[in-house]
A and B are shown apart, each in its own frame.
Chain A
């Protein structure tokens, strides 16, 4: 009998557990998370109006409900249990901790009030525990050319009615202008064309695309968007390409963002700058198959860096799970029998189900859920009935 601990109940950790449960039906697999609730970026990163994408959660529920995987929520590595102790307790330990810090712009003024990272904003819009609703003004510059930038634009440009069916419960500010600025030419932008096309359905935002030359699906999608002008649009979205950030200007708050393209300069007046240029965090050196040390592995963004969507993390987790299955020795470590007494306060899956049920029951009209917004309230709900 093998026992395996996975640190991080986001998509990487859950897909890894899924693949391990398939390969090793007798293994006892536990997933730990620092939050009291599972699913990581599916819950707190995927945009609240993309419920279809969040539906992969239904796969992961099965891990806990039918496949014997145990959830240990509100357990922080280093505070509640050390990595060394876990490695003593488990035959294999997998770090699937992701990357949750916003990469900084690295230009003068990037720490001014009004400059916000996409992770901070996305977590707040997803009601992450103890997050603060960001102060966003009427004129926003979004820096970045990936799908996270598109999420920010779409949510800021949507009307309340357009958020029907989502689990967005914050009221987003009435933004009147959004400039989306990318460092690379449009041809090299990392936008997923289907995400761009989605912007073409916005009913209250006009779209202008500047300087998108070249070929390819992104260029075609941008060309389709250009000139989108629904009647009564309240928000104007402008895309710009090939501009390198030079400085964020302002004294007590952002007043403009300045960019360079060769000898040209572009200064965009704004009160808010949202950066969507990737994520940082602690990554450990691992070999190509995901081994950090004997019995210690890593998967997902913690392994590969902040690239790749849900399916890529699935493929990665399946590969790392295969490595683990091939490496495992005779096993026999105590696993959860040793962990559980160390973390008596841990939120189990039944606790999460109580939180989940309360969130669904609290959904306002037109929304599918109202997330619990503080850790304390989550813990109170989780422990009720235990």
Chain B
């Protein structure tokens, strides 16, 4: 199945991880800031990596995407996606809201999530890559 990696980033952590994932599975990678929802294709699996910033908000580079999704109301039937959220448990009330928002936005538009949304904790012991690369491998095995 064709696969693309997309990322929303504020400090660059999600960008670096998305590039690592894309390199690992041999897929293209794009910043959500440069991605038009009209470009979503049925039959493609999108791996979306996003952080959370501020008070449970989307990171800066995902905000223009969210605005386009709201304005265009695209029909994403047949589009499959998976979400890797990055957060910081120092802020428990809004931990990983960025990933949650992306999931809600995609699902509301008719896309189908593959697997469970995965979350990484910047204050935890795991390196993001150690969770994300096996996650991507498992998705590729399903796809």
In Å, the complex CA distance between A194 and B54 comes to 6
A residues near B92, Cβ cutoff 8 Å: 201
- Size class of B's contact patch? 20 to 34
Cα distance, A217 to B16, chains bound together (Å): 31
Q: CA–CA, A292 to B1, complex, Å? A: 51
Contacts of B89 in A (CB 8 A): 52
Say yes or no: A58-B11 contact (C-beta < 8 A), given A311-B53, A311-B60.
Answer: no
- Per the bound structure, the CA–CA distance linking A197 and B91 in Å amounts to 9
Q: By the criterion of a CB under 8 Å from any partner CB, how many residues of chain A are at the interface?
A: 23
A50 pairs with B12, CB closer than 8 A: no
Q: A43 within 8 Å of B by Cβ?
A: no
A202 vs chain B, min Cβ distance (A)? 13
Per-position binary interface string of chain B over residues 40-67, scored 1 when its CB falls under 8 Å from any chain A CB and 0 otherwise: 0000000000000111000010000000
Contacts of A50 in B (CB 8 A): 90
Q: Choose among A18, A56, A217, A310 the residue that contacts B55 (Cβ–Cβ < 8 A).
A: A217
Selected contact of B13 from candidates A51, A55, A217, CB within 8 Å: A55
CA–CA, A55 and B123, complex, Å = 8
Whole-angstrom distance between the alpha carbons of A193 and B91 in the complex?
12
Q: How far is the CB of B18 from chain A (nearest CB, A)?
A: 12
- Which of A18, A52, A62, A198 meets B121, CB within 8 Å? A52
Chain A residues, Cβ within 8 Å of B93: 197
Give residues 46-60 of A contacting B (CB, 8 Å).
49-53, 55-56, 58-59
| Cα separation A56 to B60 with both chains bound (whole Å) | 16
B interface list, Cβ under 8 A from A: 10-13, 16, 53-55, 60, 88-94, 121-123, 127-128
Could you tell me which A residues sit within 8 Å of B by CB distance?
A: 15, 18, 49-53, 55-56, 58-59, 62, 165, 192-194, 197-198, 201, 217, 310-311, 314
